[in-house]
């Protein structure tokens, strides 16, 4: 051991020069990593720096330098105990850090106050989860690249063992948008048309505005569209008689009183005058369906405090009707709006009814909104009705490629370009530019090539949207998102509190009252987690990270940090050794042999009087006089 301590290689590895070089490189790396983390994500820095082989090699080289520095002074004396403990503490700390970087996990779990318990926590890196439907196999394959910054990696195969499915990432789009694909050849009457709306604001020097969209009568999200001061609505007409009625001037029931509620319930058509039937039951001639107008709101608003509908005036500025429809198939509650037909809401209380409703209140448009209604059907016919506060009501037939004259804007044109009475409708996802704001939501997607037995199959997996694929006689479910890791126990948020400083709204603390339960033993623990007071359970440290409100504003969300560090005990031991060693270095003095003299000899020039006389120059010692 003593011979090894004196070896030149050991002395070089334990030299101060090597220590300075290693520490300097580590300092530069840590500064660069901190700056890079502020521009990207913690997970990206973990992957590229802290968990990389070269960074762990640097930490190992620093530990080797500390070990050789101590070994070079072997054998150690009693007064070197502080020196040895200090170096041992540094080595143990470095080993604990390397173990934590290699085998530690970190993530977060979001709990809803009063919500269901969570058994998984989220890690901040992207994966493609692959599940064999009906089988036991599950794979969580990490993706290369990063979620922001430079483009992610593409053209690589994911590790999917033990599944037989081969998955290759062909493209990784940081943001996509859904594109509607409409073509002829469908089976059902569901009119769809594509229109182009152009307008020039002000004089001819202003650029022309152009909007191109599809309207689909059977899609509540696409049957109407607001165009600033005007609205466009597509409705399907099943018979010539209905078309004739719609093209005629509105009935007195629709123009007077509180309008007309037109319903289609299980293919039965009803027209219910609202004013005469508020609180009353209106039945069809056959008695198969009954409708009751439960309430009418002249100027609808939602009371944010009580979460209840209300009317803010008696003027029909925003008329709405709450109704109840009952048939042999079930009972349905509906909310319909005259100005916003696409916002109709239906809730099936008992059974299920096929229901559609339109609230016609012609007075609602006078002075409020210009409305272009496109009437599709029967067959290939398309007509329109145009109501405006600036001109009389107009009607006519729509000709493809020919603009419809708009009464409310002189420099505007509305043109129907395509029309399909029975369309085939599908969607596809295409790359899109990144949103301008950093806070704007993005929609990443993967273009994948799957292969198992049969030829390759191309699919697109969007963030957070499960995708089922049949291939090779098996069904797989793909889910692109963050990595999810099981906790081994469940955690539930019973209550959340954020007390504020007195006289202010600034939170003084974030407090989560949680219940943790072991599914195997059934043992449960309830504890409060707050800032700097984590919960340790099942090998994890669970700390309060942040909080937020739920989307509806009624409940609180608590975000907890979940961490497991197998190197934590070694870091604790290393810290204790380092502290003890530092104390011993300052408290234990180097002993001198009894009766010895502490003398410092200063060299003198040769051939001097002092040298020739043999006089030694020194300083007085506590143990005796200078010779």
DSSP assignment string, 210-228: EEEEEEETT-TTTSEEEET
CATH number at residue 546: 2.60.98.40
Q: Which of 360, 342, 359, 373 is closest to 230 using CA atoms?
A: 373
Closest CA to 125 of 151, 104, 143, 148: 143
Q: What pLDDT, on a 0 to 100 scale, did the predictor assign at position 612?
A: 42
pLDDT, position 616:
46
Reported confidence tier of residue 552, pLDDT bands at 50, 70, 90: low
pTM higher than the cut 0.75: no
Kind of pairing, strands 382-387 and 394-397? antiparallel
Biggest alpha carbon–alpha carbon distance for the chain: 141
Lowest mean pLDDT among 150-154, 253-257, 304-308: 253-257
Least-confidence region, from 1-10, 451-460, 576-585:
1-10
Q: Give the number of domains in the chain.
A: 5
Residue 356 lies in a domain: yes
Quick check: is 514 in a domain? Answer: yes
- Those residues with Cβ within 8 angstroms of residue 154's Cβ, 6 or more apart along the chain or in another chain: 145, 169, 170, 171, 172
Domain end residue (candidates: 410, 425, 440): 425
Same domain, 252 and 388: yes
At 273, the pLDDT band (50, 70, 90 cuts) reads confident
Q: Is residue 124 part of a domain?
A: no
What residues form DSSP beta bridges with 449? 168, 458
Does residue 449 carry a pLDDT above 60?
Answer: yes
Share of the chain above pLDDT 90, in %: 24
618, pLDDT greater than 50:
no
Give the Å distances, CA to CA, from 599 to 589, 590, 602. 18, 15, 10
* Pairwise pLDDT comparison (615 vs 426), residue with the higher score: 426
pLDDT at 203: 57
Report the pLDDT value the prediction gives residue 191, as an integer from 0 to 100. 92
Q: Is 593 domain-assigned?
A: no
Q: Which residue has the tokens 């700056």?
A: 35
Whether residue 454 sits in one domain with residue 395: no
Query: Quick one: pLDDT at residue 342?
Result: 62
DSSP-derived pairing of the beta strands 355-360 and 224-227: unpaired
pLDDT at position 250 over 60: yes
User: Is 117 exposed, middle or buried, given 0-12, 13-18 or 19+ CB atoms closer than 10 A?
Assistant: middle
Contacts of 263 (CB under 8 A, 6+ apart): 269, 270, 271, 272, 291, 325, 355, 356, 357
Q: How far apart are CA 12 and CA 18, in angstroms?
A: 7
**464/521 same-domain check:** no
Question: Based on the domain organization, do 97 and 243 belong to the same domain?
Answer: no
Least reliable range by pLDDT among 103-107, 241-245, 289-293: 241-245
| Kind plus residue range of the DSSP H or E element containing 96 | helix 81-103
Q: pLDDT, tens digit, for every residue of 478-501?
A: 999 888 888 889 999 999 988 888
- 125: in domain: no
- Give whole-number Cα distances, 263 to 33, 273, 590, 622, in Å: 63, 11, 100, 111
Query: For residue 10, how many C-alpha atoms fall within 13 Å in the half-sphere facing its CB?
Result: 15
Within the chain, how many helices (H) and strands (E) appear?
A: 10, 35
Choice between 253 and 116, residue whose per-residue pLDDT is larger: 116
pLDDT confidence bin for 593, thresholds 50/70/90: low
Q: How far apart are CA 182 and CA 454, in angstroms?
A: 29
Tokens for 72, please give them.
Answer: 């070079």
pLDDT of residue 309: 87
Q: Is the pLDDT of residue 316 over 90?
A: no
552 and 574 within one domain: no
Name the DSSP letter for residue 601.
P
How far apart are the C-alpha atoms of 544 and 122, rounded to whole Å? Answer: 15
| Tokens 């410092």 -> residue | 600
527 pLDDT band, cuts 50/70/90, is very high
Evaluate if residue 435 carries a pLDDT over 50.
yes
Phi, psi torsion values for 252, nearest 5 degrees: -60, -35
pLDDT the model gives residue 490: 92
Determine the average pLDDT of the residues in 69-88.
87
User: Residue 374: how many CB atoms within 10 A of its CB?
Assistant: 25
Residues 405 and 456 in one domain: no
How far apart are alpha carbons 529 and 394 in whole angstroms?
Answer: 67
Mean pLDDT of 11-16: 87
Asked whether residue 592 is assigned to any structural domain, the reply reads: no
pLDDT level of residue 617 (50, 70, 90 thresholds) = very low
SS3 450: strand
Calculate mean pLDDT across residues 80-106.
90
Beta strands in 228-353 (DSSP E): 230-236, 260-265, 268-273, 281-283, 289-297, 300-303, 308-311, 320-327, 330-337, 345-351
Q: What is the pLDDT of residue 392?
A: 72
Q: What is the pLDDT of residue 147?
A: 43
- How far is 94 from 58, CA to CA, in rounded Å? 10
Average pLDDT over every residue of 606-616: 45
Least confident of 70-74, 153-157, 211-215, 256-260: 256-260
Confidence of residue 614 (pLDDT cuts 50, 70, 90): very low
**Same domain for 366 and 275:** yes
Grade residue 5 by pLDDT with cuts at 50, 70 and 90: low
> Same domain for 275 and 357?
yes
Strand order in the sheet with 403-404: 208-216, 192-200, 412-420, 403-404
Which tokens is 355 given? Answer: 């229901």
- Cα–Cα separations (whole angstroms), residue 398 to 22, 94, 182, 452: 79, 78, 20, 51
Based on the fold, state whether residues 195 and 332 are members of the same structural domain. yes
Tokens 């309060």 -> residue:
544
> What's the confidence (pLDDT) of residue 94?
92
Q: Which structure tokens are listed for 620?
A: 């007085």
- What share of the chain has pLDDT > 70, as a percent? 85
Q: Whats the size of the chain, residue-wise? A: 627
Average pLDDT value for residue range 94-123: 89
Q: How far apart are CA 417 and CA 192, in angstroms?
A: 11
- Are 390 and 263 members of one domain? yes
pLDDT of residue 553: 64
Does residue 233 sit within a domain? yes
pLDDT the model gives residue 585: 86
Least confidently predicted of 208-222, 303-317, 457-471 = 303-317
Q: Are 446 and 460 in contact (CB under 8 A)?
A: yes
Average pLDDT over residues 564-581: 91
Residue 85 clears pLDDT 70, i.e. is over it: yes
Cα separation, 52 vs 59, in Å, equals: 11
556 by Cβ neighbours in 10 Å (0-12 / 13-18 / 19+) ranks as buried
According to the model, what pLDDT value does residue 611 have?
45
Residue 543 confidence (pLDDT):
93
d(CA 440, CA 237): 40
- Would residue 620 count as lying in a domain? yes
Residue 101: the pLDDT is 87
367 DSSP 8-state letter: T
pLDDT at residue 436 in the model: 58
Residue ranges making up the domain that contains 625: 598-627
278 & 373 share domain: yes
- Alpha-carbon torsion angle 251, 253, 257, 258, nearest 10: -100
Of 54-58, 285-289, 353-357, 435-439, highest mean pLDDT: 54-58
* Structure tokens, 243: 């078309």
Q: What is the mean pLDDT of residues 239-254?
A: 72
Query: What is the overall mean pLDDT for the chain?
Result: 82
Question: Worst-scoring range by mean pLDDT, 11-20, 229-238, 485-494?
Answer: 229-238
Predicted confidence (pLDDT) at residue 589 exceeds the cutoff of 60: yes
Within this chain, do residues 408 and 535 fall inside the same structural domain, yes or no? no
Hey, which residues does 289 pair with through a beta bridge? Answer: 327
């Amino acid at each position: 051991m003593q011979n090894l301590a004196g070896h030149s290689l050991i002395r070089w590895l334990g030299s101060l020069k090597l220590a300075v070089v290693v520490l300097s490189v580590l300092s530069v790396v840590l500064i660069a990593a901190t700056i890079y983390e502020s521009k990207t994500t913690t997970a990206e820095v973990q992957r590229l720096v802290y968990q990389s082989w070269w960074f762990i090699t640097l930490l190992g080289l620093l530990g080797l330098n500390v070990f050789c520095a101590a070994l070079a002074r072997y054998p150690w004396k009693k007064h070197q105990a502080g020196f040895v403990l200090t170096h041992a503490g540094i080595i143990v700390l470095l080993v604990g850090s390397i173990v934590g970087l290699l085998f530690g996990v970190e993530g977060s779990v979001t709990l809803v106050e009063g919500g269901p318990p969570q058994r998984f926590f989220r890690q901040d890196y992207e994966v493609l989860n692959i599940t064999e439907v009906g089988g036991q196999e599950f794979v969580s394959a990490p993706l290369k690249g990063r979620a922001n910054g430079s483009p992610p990696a593409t053209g690589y195969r994911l590790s999917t063992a033990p599944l037989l499915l081969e998955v290759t990432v062909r493209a990784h789009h940081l943001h996509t948008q859904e594109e509607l694909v409409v073509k002829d050849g469908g089976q059902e009457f569901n009119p769809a048309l594509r229109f182009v709306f152009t307008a020039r604001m002000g004089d001819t020097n202003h650029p022309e505005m152009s909007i191109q969209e599809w309207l689909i009568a059977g899609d509540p999200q696409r049957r109407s569209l607001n165009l600033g001061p005007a609205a466009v609505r597509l409705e399907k007409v099943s018979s010539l008689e209905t078309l004739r009625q719609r093209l005629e001037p509105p009935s007195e029931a629709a123009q007077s009183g509180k309008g007309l509620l037109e319903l289609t319930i299980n293919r039965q058509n009803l027209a219910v005058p609202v004013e005469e039937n508020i609180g009353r039951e209106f039945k069809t001639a056959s008695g198969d369906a009954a409708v009751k107008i439960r309430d009418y709101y002249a100027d609808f608003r939602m009371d944010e405090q009580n979460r209840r509908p209300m009317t803010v005036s008696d003027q029909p500025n925003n008329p709405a009707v709450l109704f109840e429809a009952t048939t042999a198939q079930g009972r349905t509650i509906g909310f319909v709006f005259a100005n916003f037909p696409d916002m109709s809401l239906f809730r099936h209380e008992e059974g299920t009814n096929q229901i559609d409703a339109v609230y016609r209140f012609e007075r609602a448009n006078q002075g409020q909104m210009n409305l272009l209604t496109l009437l599709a059907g029967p067959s290939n016919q398309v007509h329109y009705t145009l109501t405006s506060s600036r001109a009389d009501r107009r009607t006519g037939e729509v000709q493809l490629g020919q603009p419809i004259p708009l009464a409310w804007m002189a420099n505007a044109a509305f043109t129907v370009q395509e029309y399909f009475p029975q369309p085939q409708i599908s969607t596809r996802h295409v790359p899109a530019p990144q949103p301008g704001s950093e806070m704007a939501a993005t929609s990443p997607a993967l273009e994948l090539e799957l292969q198992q037995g049969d030829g390759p199959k191309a699919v697109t997996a969007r963030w957070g949207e499960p995708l089922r694929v049949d291939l090779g006689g098996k069904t797989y479910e793909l889910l692109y998102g963050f990595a999810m890791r099981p906790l081994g126990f469940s955690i539930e948020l019973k209550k959340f509190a954020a007390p504020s400083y007195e006289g202010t709204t600034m939170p003084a603390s974030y407090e989560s009252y949680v219940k943790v339960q072991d599914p195997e033993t059934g043992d449960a623990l309830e504890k409060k987690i707050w800032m700097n007071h984590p919960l340790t359970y099942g090998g994890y440290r669970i700390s309060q990270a942040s909080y937020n409100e739920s989307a509806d504003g009624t409940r609180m969300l608590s975000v907890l940090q979940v961490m497991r560090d197998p190197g934590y005990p070694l870091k604790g031991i290393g810290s204790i050794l380092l502290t003890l060693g530092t104390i011993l270095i300052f408290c234990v003095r180097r002993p001198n042999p009894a009766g010895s003299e502490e003398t410092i000899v200063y060299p003198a020039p040769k051939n001097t009087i002092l040298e020739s006389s043999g006089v030694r120059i020194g300083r007085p010692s506590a143990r005796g006089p200078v010779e």
